[in-house]
Amino acid sequence: MPVGIFDSGLGGLTVFNAIRQRMPEQPLLYLGDNKHTPYGVRDPEDIYELTVRNTQQLFDQGCDLVILACNTASAVALRRMQETWIPSNKRVLGVFVPLIEALTERKWGDNSPPREVAVNQVALFATPATVASRAFQRELAFRAVGVDVEAQPCGGLVDALEMNDLELAEAMVHSHVAALLRRMPKPQAAVLGCTHYPILEHVFQEALGPDVTVYSQGNLVAASLEDYLRRHPDLIGADGATRCMTTGDPKSVSVAATRFLGKHMVFEAA
């Protein structure tokens, strides 16, 4: 059976690609809600309703496990979904946990009290909705104490990447990094809290400087999923089949996805 991967647009393809490279035998079904992208400027109720609708579509396509490869959906909708909506025979995972595991160097199953960690100055770059939710800070507080998180809402960056305007996107990265550094001059680590942003990881690194460790999600989520499937072998598939669906126009999304990921991508209508 396929693992479902959902994103508001193209950003989750960075997670899709990392999983594909790490587990080529695992079937995957990607769904991008390109018709309604970006989510990062929407209100919480709208984000919740869209996330539920698209997750249900992946369930209907045979996915028993869905990854919300969208930080905004993970931050705003996931907890409510887990508490009130997800059927008992289905599972939905977000993308914050692998980041926090890497940042705090402790596994999510470690339920010991929060403790001090090596990194205590963290820059968070994310969509306005993710920043407003404070979900990253909330989840981090369960695992670590004494960590100062300075969050920068990166308005417009997802739009630029969806339009494949890399020149504009790179300029935006430098502007957002400069704004954050005025408030936190010496971060030890930077978290790219949107799955679109790894496409510009090198630009973030350049703007932040070589002394800042940049965490992005693709490889971290892929490694976490591999561990999760090892512990839940009933969810493992073996035929390696992949499909990509979109709520937008399949032809234009296929072109944009090919440019975004740098490899040929074909989308079908959801």
Average pLDDT, the chain: 94
10 and 83 co-located in one domain:
yes
What is the reported pTM?
0.90
Last residue within a domain, chosen from 215, 236, 258: 215
Please list the active-site residues.
70, 194
Same domain, yes or no, for 140 and 187?
A: yes
Are residues 121 and 210 both part of a single domain? yes
Q: Are residues 161 and 195 in the same domain?
A: yes
Place of tokens 């510009």: 200
Same domain, 265 and 195: no
Please tell me whether residues 211 and 232 are part of one structural domain: no
Residue 96 pLDDT > 90: no
- Do 231 and 193 belong to one domain? no
Question: Where a domain ends, among 191, 215, 239?
Answer: 215
Per the structure, the count of domains in the chain is: 2
Q: Are residues 69 and 81 in the same domain?
A: yes
In the chain, the percentage of residues whose pLDDT exceeds 70 is: 99
Residue-number span of the structural domain to which 211 is assigned = 104-215
pLDDT in tens, 176-230: 999 999 999 999 999 999 999 999 999 999 999 999 999 988 999 999 899 899 9
The residue-averaged pLDDT of 73-96 equals 94
Q: What is residue 216's predicted lDDT score, i.e. its pLDDT?
A: 87
Do 112 and 204 have their domain in common? yes
Task: Clarify whether residues 118 and 184 are in a common domain.
Answer: yes
Average pLDDT score over residue span 109-113: 72
Condensed to tens digits (0 to 9), the pLDDT of residues 236-256 reads 888 889 999 999 999 999 999
Assign residue 184 the CATH number of its domain.
Answer: 3.40.50.1860
Banded model confidence at residue 68, pLDDT cuts 50, 70, 90: very high
Q: Is the pLDDT of residue 109 over 70?
A: no
Check pLDDT > 70 for residue 134.
yes
Region 162-170: mean pLDDT is 93
203/255 same-domain check: no
pLDDT average, residue stretch 86-108: 87
- Split at pLDDT 50, 70, 90, the class of 113 is confident
Instruction: Provide the pLDDT for residue 237.
Output: 86
Per-residue confidence (pLDDT) for residue 108, from 0 to 100: 58
Residues 39 and 127 in one domain: no
